[in-house]
Amino acid sequence: MDRPHYNLNIPMKFRPWVSLDDPRLEHPNPTHEVDIALDDLRLHNPELIDFLGELGMEVSHLRLFRSRPWARYSIHIDLSPDDYADTEYARAADQIVKLNFIFNSWGTRMQWFQQAQGQRPQRNNNSGFSFYSFDPKTCARVYDTVCDRDCLIHAGRIHTAFNTANNDQDRMCYSLFLVSAQGELNWDRAVTILTPWLDVA
Ligand SMILES: [Fe+2]
């Protein structure tokens, strides 16, 4: 499998604007996620929107992930079974390309997997968001990286993330779903466009 993660070096610094004290992020679960209005992204990071626009890309939506120390996500893909029939999910999954802007992260790891032939994902739900999850017993790990920095990730391939003690702080990740200005954007195309700003070593 070609790699599903690249650290990112774009010419502007992402400016976060949601406080950890924001009531939207309050939740008893170790992991919690909320959708954030794209207008807020444009307001706080107009240079980023312009930069992506010049490359023919847009942000289709933005989700903010808050995770506690030692939090662990299930093995999943970021694709809602409510949006796609199971028979279409492989094609749709290839288009889940995300830019992640990460704060308060010390040693979080992301890992990617391949599922054994003939196995199927399960439908699951966290904080009201539905997604596909996978039985760890049916998956083999194929990629493993530290994920503390701005990065481009393939969220349509099977993956998980888990935190360390994280300096006893919550981790925050602004996760931008990318599309091309024409609509669909698959992983290979996104990597090609963004190669000048990716750590490819
Ligand atoms: Fe994910």
- Specify the higher pLDDT residue, 143 or 200: 143
As assigned by CATH, the class of the 5-13+29-197 domain is: mainly beta
Q: What is the mean pLDDT of the chain?
A: 93
**Centre of ligand 1 from the C-alpha of residue 155, in Å:** 5
C-alpha 171/C-alpha 20 separation (Å) is: 9
Average pLDDT over residues 64-75: 97
C-alpha 198/C-alpha 191 separation (Å) is: 8
pLDDT tens across 121-156, in order?
888 887 778 889 999 999 999 999 999 999 999 999
**Which candidate, 170, 145, 173, 143, places its Cα nearest to that of 158?**
143
**Centre of ligand 1 from the C-alpha of residue 129, in Å:** 12
Contact 34, 25 (CB under 8 A): yes
**Centre of ligand 1 from the C-alpha of residue 55, in Å:** 24
Question: Phi, psi at residue 87, to the nearest 5°?
Answer: -70, -20
pLDDT (0 to 100) of residue 1: 61
pLDDT (0 to 100) of residue 96: 94
- Give the pLDDT band of residue 103 (cuts 50, 70, 90): very high
pLDDT (0 to 100) of residue 73: 95
**Centre of ligand 1 from the C-alpha of residue 61, in Å:** 14
**Centre of ligand 1 from the C-alpha of residue 96, in Å:** 10
In this structure, of 40-44, 101-105, 128-132, the range with the lowest mean pLDDT score is 128-132
pLDDT tens across 81-98, in order?
888 887 788 888 999 999
pLDDT (0 to 100) of residue 90: 82
**Centre of ligand 1 from the C-alpha of residue 47, in Å:** 26
Q: How far is CA 113 from CA 65, 70, 74, 164, in A?
A: 21, 20, 12, 20
Domain segments of the chain as ranges: 5-13+29-197
